[in-house]
Amino acid sequence: MANLDFLTSEEKEKVQQFMEITNTKCAETAHQLLSDSNWRLDSAIETFFIVSSIDAGEPSASDQSNSENNRNVGFVENIGESHDNIQEISAGYDSDWNASHTIREPLMTFSDQPVPDQLNNFITNFHERYCTSPDTTMPTFYTDTLQNAIDIAFGHENENLCRPLALFLNNEKSRHTENFIKSILCNTLVCEFLREKFVLFPWDTTEELNKERLFQMMIDSRMRAVCDELADFARSVDDFPVLVIMNRKRYSFEIISQFNWRSDVNEAFEGLHEAFDKFKHEQLVEISKEIERKKEREIFDQQRADYDASLQADLEKKKRKVENKVMEEKEKNVKEAKDKVQQEAEEEKVKEKEKEDQKIKILLSKLPMEPEASDPTCVTVQFRFPDGTQGSRRFLQSDSIQTMLDYLTTERYSPEQCRFFNSEFPRKDIMKCYDCHKNFGDVNWPKRETVWIVLN
């Protein structure tokens, strides 16, 4: 008897009743017919007798089924409609199963939704279809993109935290889907082991466009070799569903192991342990190789460093005298150049001072006499110098503003070195806001004003 431990107690009872009524010993056939009949016992039995009569080559499927029904009248007196109304079955159970099973909806319909949204729909449909009974455990599926699943599985800086990637590829058209999911994938021990040791990425390939989208995601994630292998595998619907365990070595991917309906739960559980052990072993081998490569690089780098140091020491020894002589000559030249620059600067400074003194002398000779404070036409300007000192000077209203600037130049605060602001708020730059050739009276200069002097 096939392993039907994944069925509920009620489903197991219906399988047993079917086998007793039809006098068949094939529990798998009973399960498949009941599953395709939505677990309606009368419909499953009726289909069985129709298929049996066709396989036996008898002239009338209806007569054969009626005969069988009469022999089992104690069990099936309430079987449904007349066989004359049943759709003709071409040949064999496989064709009948395929015809009835095509109505099963995919777990994930094709759309342009982002991958996380499609996977959330997959999980919702998966739970409603396969995980409603208390004896099934919902697997922990990864619900982001395939590339992110790869990064989570293999991208840890700490390689001890890396895990194999498990791809669960489903197809609702396969006759083995329900058996594999309920007996293996939803087994509590298998679920827990997958959750702790693997990154489980699901995808439904029932619709051809979804299968093509999966292959494109794999190609985009640099999994071309694995994609080609799965493309060959995916040509047969009944090879689904499949659980593919993968590893990444440096930048290439390989399949460690895979499980489908041919595996029972014990084989799958042991196989997952073996796959994980193989992954860790290959990881340790790769780590050991990397350590060895690192040691070799360190040895090479050390040898190269020793050689370079020895060569450099020889060069230093040979060139030390020449370099010392060059350094002394350079220092001498630098000192001479520095002294020369300093001397030229001092000479330039003396020339500038002489030039400034000459200019001040000329300006002093041209400055008008300071009027008396009692002169009604005079203006008084208070100066605030940059060093914090103050001073004042009286000018006639007929004097130009330039006269004030000339006076400040004689005090060694020339317009080339300073800016001059009045006491208004905001303060005005006198040289920008006034025509310096106009006199104080023309610009309505206040009788008393304060001028602030700021160095450039």
Q: Is residue 219 part of a domain?
A: yes
Question: Which of 76, 101, 126 is the C-terminal boundary of a domain?
Answer: 101
Residues 6+ apart with CB under 8 A from 441: 377, 397, 398
Going by C-beta distance under 8 Å and a sequence separation of 6 or more, which residues neighbour residue 132? none
Burial 297-329 (b: 16+ CB within 10 A, else e): eeeeeeeeeeeeeeeeeeeeeeeeeeeeeeeee
126 with 230, same domain: the answer is yes
Q: What pLDDT, on a 0 to 100 scale, did the predictor assign at position 398? A: 93
Same domain, 215 and 279: yes
Domain range for 179 is 115-288
If asked whether residues 175 and 85 sit together in one domain, one would say no
Question: With a cut of 70, which residues of the chain have pLDDT below it?
Answer: 1-3, 5, 52-103
Domain membership flag for residue 360? no
Strand order in the sheet with 252-259: 199-204, 165-170, 242-249, 252-259
Structure token pair of residue 344: 């030229």
**How far is it, in rounded angstroms, from Cα 186 to Cα 202?**
13
| pLDDT, position 66 | 43
Does a structural domain hold residue 17? Answer: yes
Maximal C-alpha separation, the chain = 148
Predicted pLDDT at 103: 52
> Pick from 288, 311, 329: which residue ends a domain?
288
User: What per-residue confidence (pLDDT) applies to 442?
Assistant: 92
- Residue whose tokens read 């001040």: 360
pLDDT confidence of residue 59: 45
Q: Are residues 75 and 25 in the same domain?
A: yes
pTM for this entry: 0.47
Query: 140 and 230: one domain?
Result: yes
User: Are residues 133 and 270 located together in one domain of the fold?
Assistant: yes
* Span between the terminal Cα atoms of the chain, in Å: 104
Q: What is the pLDDT of residue 55?
A: 52
Q: What is the pLDDT of residue 87?
A: 36
Both 126 and 249 in a single domain? yes
Shared domain check, 256 and 141: yes
Specify if 307 maps to a domain.
no
Tell me, what amino acid is at 349? K
Quick check: is 4 in a domain?
Answer: no
Q: Do 51 and 169 fall into the same domain?
A: no
For the chain, give the secondary structure using H, E and C: CCCCCCCCHHHHHHHHHHHHHHCCCCHHHHHHHHHHCCCCHHHHHHHHHHHHHHHHCCCCHHHHHHHHHHHCHHHHCCCCCCHHHCCCCCCHHHHHHHHHHCCCCCCCCCCCCCHHHHHHHHHHHHHHHHCCCCCCCCCCCCCCCHHHHHHHHHCCCCHHHCCCEEEEEECCCCCCHHHHHHHHHCCHHHHHHHHHHCEEEEEECCCHHHHHHHHHHHHHCCCHHHHHHHHHHCCCHHHCCEEEEEEEECCEEEEEEEECCCCCHHHHHHHHHHHHHHHHHHHHHHHHHHHHHHHHHHHHHHHHHHHHHHHHHHHHHHHHHHHHHHHHHHHHHHHHHHHHHHHHHHHHHHHHHHHHHHHHHHHHHHCCCCCCCCCCCEEEEEEECCCCCEEEEEEECCCEHHHHHHHHHHCCCCCCCEEEECCCCCCCEHHHHCCCCCECCCCCCCCEEEEEEEEC
Question: Tens of pLDDT along 244-272?
Answer: 999 988 778 989 888 988 888 888 889 89
Nearest to 269, CA basis, from 194, 339, 322, 201: 194
**CATH number assigned to the domain comprising residue 150:** 3.40.30.10
Residue 312 CA to residue 195 CA, distance in Å, equals: 58
Instruction: Identify whether residues 125 and 172 lie together within a single domain.
Output: yes
**What's the total number of domains in the chain?**
3
| Domain edge (last residue) among 268, 288, 308 | 288
Same domain flag for 95 and 123: no
Task: Tell whether 13 is covered by a domain.
Answer: yes
Going 143 to 144 to 146 to 152, the CA torsion angle's sign is negative
Is 31 within a domain?
Answer: yes
Do 36 and 164 fall into the same domain?
Answer: no
| Residue 373 belongs to some domain of the structure | no
CA 90, 25, 129, 121 torsion: positive or negative?
negative
Q: Which of 412, 403, 386 has the alpha carbon at shortest distance from 443?
A: 403
Per-residue pLDDT at 56: 52
Burial 374-398, CB ≥16 within 10 A → b, else e:
eeeebbebebbbeeeeeeebebbbe
**Of the candidates 377, 411, 410, the residue with the CA atom closest to the CA atom of residue 394:** 377
pLDDT, tens digit, for every residue of 49-99? Answer: 877 665 555 444 334 434 444 434 333 333 333 333 333 333 344 444 444
> Any idea how long the chain is?
456
